[in-house]
Structure 1
Amino acid sequence: MRTFVKWLKRIGSAIIAVVAISLSIGFVFEWKSRNEAEKIKATGSFVKVANHRLHYYKTGSGGPTVVFETAFDPAGHLQWYNVQKELPTTFTSISYDRAGILWSERGDKPKSGEEIAADLHHVLEKANAPKPYIIVGHSFGGTLTRFFIDKYPKDVAGVIFVDSQCPDDKKYLSPELFKMTNQGLPSGLLKFANTFGIARLMFKNMFANEKQYEYQNSIMPALLYKSANAVLEEQDQMSSIKKQASKIKSFGSIPLYILTAADKKRYDSFIKDEKLKEEMLTSWNKMQNDFLLLSSDSKQILVPNSGHYINQEQPKVIRDAINHMVNKIASSK
């Protein structure tokens, strides 16, 4: 018995030693990787907002300006990078990194919907982006667009939701499904993983492992150590942001296109219970359909064979919607 206990202690000590060595190696690897990441040249340009700099990527020239707002996502403007590169250069497009994401500095402004809208407005003004704006928001980005439209309605000529999040989703979902879909990331675990180099391995192939996404797959993990804390901070404020956004119920007559993912299998890997999966499909479709009430000039576009990330799975649909909106605005002058 004593021999067995001794062996258990030795095995336990060996495991602890291996874990400690692995964490030490991971910490050093992370430190060196961060030093290397500091040398990476930014995709776009910077503007000064309050006491910090925000990074944006701009293509084309002339008006209107298509403005991209990213989802709850550490990839920032990279989610729109390929979409922008394929747009005509006869009008301007701008994507940006919210405070603390990728190359944007965090600053000390609170992570509220109003402040995020103000930050974006400063970026557009200082980048000399021609008005009016067409705001394109994906998922959580769709929720954030409400604050911008509410605060600067005269600057906005059109809105495109890309499988947008519904800020008052609690009204549509059962308590079980609401809890499942709003549980968020494990912040303590992610912070630990970020310190010891594990997080950059976890998010190594956030984009599809294809040639067209080589740039994104090299940049996003390298700068994840900067983005992680800001993303978790946005998660902490998510409930408050959604509550405030749900009070913004009308865009007036501003044209609104609602792009909705329509692949019925898009929740298969996320929800195993067939009853809950069917509820999620039905509820999401109801939320998307109800967005039509936000504007007196709105239409929904179903996107077959696409899951939530339409910008990666069916980017042409987004480009077509943007081009159509640009032409619609031009013809209305």
Structure 2
Amino acid sequence: MKGMPTVIFESGLGDDNGVWKLVQKEISKTTITFSYDRAQLRNSATGDLSRTSLEQVHELHTLLNKAKVKAPYIIVAHSIGGYNARLFAGTYPKELAGIIFIDCSHENQFKDRVNRSSAEEIEMVRKQLIGEEQTFDKLLMSAKQVKEIRKKDALRNIPIIVLTADHKGEESAAISEETWLSYQNDLLTLSDYSKHIMVKDCGHYIQKDKPQIVIDAINEIVDKML
């Protein structure tokens, strides 16, 4: 897929588009960029219900069409935003040209957490997510959606770059380092054109702590399209 791409920034759970400020400023100098706030976040109309990742993907696609933002798209996804990127790939495969996964969530991590946690611990997590854009139950549903979409193998011939922080933040605080790395390595198997970069001295928000690494990764995929 050739042509000037649009770089879409997909934030993590509860984050608005401000987390991309440093990266988007630089990438906007060379190609089209698109950042937004999902429903229930800062600059978007308040939604009535928590949404699954697939519902969010459909809303994003509608927004892109209304704004006349054209494909091909490169999605830069952080944390749970990785679910949305993969679901977008499976739902609109002809429109996607690449994905940058930034310390992204894996479809097994929430089920694994349920299996190793007590009922009291799970209930505490459920309460923490009440009122969020995705409740704990919706996160579990979203993970199932990602597992199902994986069967389409939509990313097999799409370039992807997986960025993994060596110091974990909230997203993986309840997950062992070994398990988190296994999740990250599994993301590499989604494509025959994948690359893994371990980011040293960095927390979960690589786009804030080490923005140049994210910028370089985006430019690497953009350059392949020009």
Q: Report the TM-score, using the length of structure 1 for normalisation.
A: 0.59
* Residues 1:164 and 2:65 are matched in the alignment: no
Partner of 1:118: 58
- Of 55, 71, 78, the residue aligned with 2:12 is 71
Q: How does 1:1-333 map to 2 (within 5 A)?
A: 63-73=4-14, 75-107=15-47, 111-169=51-109, 175-176=115-116, 184=125, 186-187=127-128, 229=131, 231=132, 233-249=134-150, 250=153, 251-263=155-167, 266=168, 280-330=176-226
Q: CA shift at 1:301, angstroms?
A: 1.0
The one-letter code sitting in structure 2 at the alignment partner of 1:92 is I
Higher relative contact order (CA 8 A, sep 6+): 2
Residue 183 and residue 86 in structure 1: after superposition, are their counterparts in 2 closer, same or farther (change >3 A)?
A: farther
Q: Distance in 2 between matches of 1:132 and 1:258?
A: 20
Q: CA shift at 1:172, angstroms?
A: 6.1
Q: Distance in 1 between matches of 2:49 and 2:95?
A: 23
Q: CA shift at 1:181, angstroms?
A: 9.1
Q: Judging by fraction of residues, say which structure has more helix.
A: 1
Q: Distance in 1 between matches of 2:165 and 2:125?
A: 21
1:221-251 Cα offsets, whole Å, 9 max, x none, are xxxxxxxx3x254444111111211222221
| Range with greater deviation from structure 2 (163-172 or 301-310) | 163-172
Residue 122 and residue 182 in structure 1: after superposition, are their counterparts in 2 closer, same or farther (change >3 A)?
A: farther
The one-letter code sitting in structure 2 at the alignment partner of 1:296 is D
Q: Distance in 2 between matches of 1:296 and 1:183?
A: 40
1:113–1:147 contact (8 Å) kept in structure 2: yes
Q: Distance in 2 between matches of 1:110 and 1:267?
A: 24
Residue 124 and residue 267 in structure 1: after superposition, are their counterparts in 2 closer, same or farther (change >3 A)?
A: closer
Query: What residue ranges of structure 2 are gaps of 5+ in the alignment?
Result: none
The one-letter code sitting in structure 2 at the alignment partner of 1:262 is D
2:52–2:134 contact (8 Å) kept in structure 1: no
Q: Report the TM-score, using the length of structure 2 for normalisation.
A: 0.85
Q: Distance in 2 between matches of 1:178 and 1:304?
A: 33
Q: Distance in 1 between matches of 2:122 and 2:166?
A: 18
The one-letter code sitting in structure 1 at the alignment partner of 2:60 is L
Number of aligned positions between the proteins = 219
SS in 2 for 1:239: helix
The one-letter code sitting in structure 2 at the alignment partner of 1:140 is I
Q: Distance in 2 between matches of 1:183 and 1:144?
A: 25
Query: What residue ranges of structure 1 are gaps of 5+ in the alignment?
Result: 1-61, 192-228, 272-276
2:9–2:35 contact (8 Å) kept in structure 1: yes
Q: How high is the sequence identity, in percent, across the aligned residues?
A: 36
2:50–2:133 contact (8 Å) kept in structure 1: no
1:172–1:283 contact (8 Å) kept in structure 2: no
Q: What is the alpha-carbon root mean square deviation over aligned residues?
A: 2.9
Larger Rg: 1
2:40–2:133 contact (8 Å) kept in structure 1: no
